[in-house]
């Protein structure tokens, strides 16, 4: 879904193939490849704390992309994304512990299991729209949360499930450095798959259903099928992201997948840009880094003023309030998200110094 934006002069497409690339220009593709190369070198220089943040952006980013395909591209709504994320985490641990499936295989398989679950919970989406659908997905959030705390055979109940670290050809990947590469691999693969999906038949069908469902139907698109399919694909991403989360922490507990996390996922895609693949990653990074940034800001203030007990006590609340504030400010000032701001900045530099 690349909308028409500024293309630098001298860019001529001479084939339809060259006109359907993921990136608008070779330059932006090379820039992205460079970014991946830089990321490959990151564990060599970054501290474990920063790596942990990047890993967090990775697995949340994968899950958020799923939600963006559902909410941003298909125009559905889901308040239960965290539950599917959690289901993926439990499913992968279950497959590994119970059946000895290697972790690297268990992660995509957990994604498939979550897809099936998502297709099931997506059935109401064939009939419901807007607020009614929001409430239906809200119900799926609570049903699954309850399932997590009761299904001892699957989740370990209230004591939670152990998730083994990744084992690659007999070499155990533990620690943030090794896991960073695993997450990076999954992020690249899942984002490429997502970008491809959105530029082919079914991706267009999703956007058609969102933009004008009546004419989408007249164009031969089965509305019910695509609304439910969108839930399935969204759940696949949630499942893979959740599985990575589980194996990273080594332990999965039912408390982590509340409605609050679902809302945070929605925040990520609103801030990043609805319907945008790259925006999803930007929004996720923003949401993960915002609390850390808030904490850094508070400690800087304390550095100058000395310890203020009230501020220290309120830090947890300030972090959460900052997330809420960010969502509100984005909805008012930048409803198209960070990706739109990024395009504006790019076009500013391209047109400088004549902004017309």
Interface region with other proteins, contact rule CB under 8 A, candidates 131-139, 163-171, 199-207, 300-308: 199-207
Interface region with other proteins, contact rule CB under 8 A, candidates 54-62, 78-86, 218-226, 344-352: 218-226
CB of 232 to other proteins, least distance (A): 8
Q: Is there a contact between 243 and 89 (Cβ–Cβ < 8 Å)?
A: yes
CB of 21 to other proteins, least distance (A): 10
- Is 62 an interacting residue with respect to other proteins (CB under 8 A)? no
User: What beta strand segments (E) does the chain contain?
Assistant: 161-162, 166-168, 171-173, 251-252
Whole-number Å distance between alpha carbons of 19 and 2: 11
- Is 14 an interacting residue with respect to other proteins (CB under 8 A)? no
Q: Which is nearer to other proteins, 108 or 157 (CB)?
A: 108
**Out of 79, 144, 233, 269, which residue is the one contacting other proteins (CB under 8 A)?**
233
Q: For residue 189, give the 3-state DSSP assignment.
A: helix
**Residues in CB range of 159: below 8 A, 6 or more apart:** none
Q: Which is nearer to other proteins, 91 or 208 (CB)?
A: 208
- Is 47 an interacting residue with respect to other proteins (CB under 8 A)? no
Q: Is there a contact between 44 and 201 (Cβ–Cβ < 8 Å)?
A: no
Whole-number Å distance between alpha carbons of 56 and 183: 9
The strand pair at 166-168 and 171-173 is best described as antiparallel
- Is 70 an interacting residue with respect to other proteins (CB under 8 A)? no
CB of 142 to other proteins, least distance (A): 28
Q: For residue 24, give the 3-state DSSP assignment.
A: coil
CA 81 to each of CA 1, 330, 335: distance values in angstroms, whole numbers, following the listed order: 23, 21, 21
Helix axes 277-305, 259-272, angle to 10 degrees: 100
- Give the single-character DSSP code of 165: P
**Out of 152, 158, 159, 215, which residue is the one contacting other proteins (CB under 8 A)?**
215
CB of 276 to other proteins, least distance (A): 11
What is the pattern of x (binds other proteins, CB under 8 A) and - over residues 269-308? Answer: ------x---------------------------------
Whole-number Å distance between alpha carbons of 344 and 356: 13
Interface region with other proteins, contact rule CB under 8 A, candidates 78-86, 122-130, 202-210, 283-291: 202-210
- Is 113 an interacting residue with respect to other proteins (CB under 8 A)? no
- Is 211 an interacting residue with respect to other proteins (CB under 8 A)? yes
- Is 3 an interacting residue with respect to other proteins (CB under 8 A)? yes
CA angle 78, 64, 335 (to 5 degrees): 80
**Within a 10 A sphere around the Cβ of 21, how many other Cβ atoms?**
15
Interface residues with other proteins (CB under 8 A)? 1-4, 16-17, 19-20, 193-194, 196-197, 199-205, 207-208, 210-212, 214-223, 229, 233, 275
């Amino acid at each position: 879904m690349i909308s028409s934006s500024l293309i630098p002069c001298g860019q001529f497409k001479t084939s339809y193939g060259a006109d359907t690339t993921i990136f608008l220009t070779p330059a932006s593709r090379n820039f992205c490849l460079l970014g991946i190369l830089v990321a490959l070198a990151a564990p060599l220089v970054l501290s474990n704390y920063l790596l942990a943040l990047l890993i967090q952006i990775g697995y949340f980013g994968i899950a958020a992309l799923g939600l963006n395909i559902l909410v941003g591209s298909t125009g559905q709504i889901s308040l239960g994304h965290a539950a599917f994320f959690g289901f993926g985490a439990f499913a992968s641990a279950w497959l590994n512990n119970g059946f000895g499936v290697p972790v690297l295989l268990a992660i995509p398989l957990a994604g498939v299991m979550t897809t099936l679950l998502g297709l099931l919970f997506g059935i109401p989406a064939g009939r419901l729209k807007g607020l009614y659908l929001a409430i239906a997905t809200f119900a799926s959030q609570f049903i699954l949360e309850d399932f997590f705390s009761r299904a001892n055979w699957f989740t370990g109940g209230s004591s939670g499930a152990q998730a083994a670290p990744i084992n690659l050809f007999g070499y155990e990947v533990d620690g943030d450095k090794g896991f960073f590469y695993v997450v990076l691999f999954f992020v690249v693969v899942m984002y490429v798959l997502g970008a491809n999906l959105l530029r082919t038949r079914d991706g267009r069908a999703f956007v058609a259903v969102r933009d004008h469902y009546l004419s989408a139907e007249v164009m031969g698109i089965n509305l019910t099928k695509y609304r439910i399919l969108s839930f399935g694909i969204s759940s696949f991403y949630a499942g893979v992201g959740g599985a990575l989360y589980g194996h990273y922490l080594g332990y999965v507990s039912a408390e982590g997948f509340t409605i609050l996390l679902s809302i945070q996922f929605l925040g990520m895609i609103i801030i990043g840009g609805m319907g945008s693949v790259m925006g999803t990653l930007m929004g996720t990074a923003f949401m993960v880094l915002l609390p850390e940034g808030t904490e850094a800001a508070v400690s800087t203030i304390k550095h100058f003023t000395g310890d203020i007990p009230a501020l220290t006590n309120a830090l947890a609340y300030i972090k959460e309030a900052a997330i809420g504030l960010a969502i509100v400010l984005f909805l008012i000032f930048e409803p198209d998200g960070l990706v739109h701001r990024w395009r504006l900045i790019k076009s500013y530099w391209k047109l400088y110094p004549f902004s017309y």
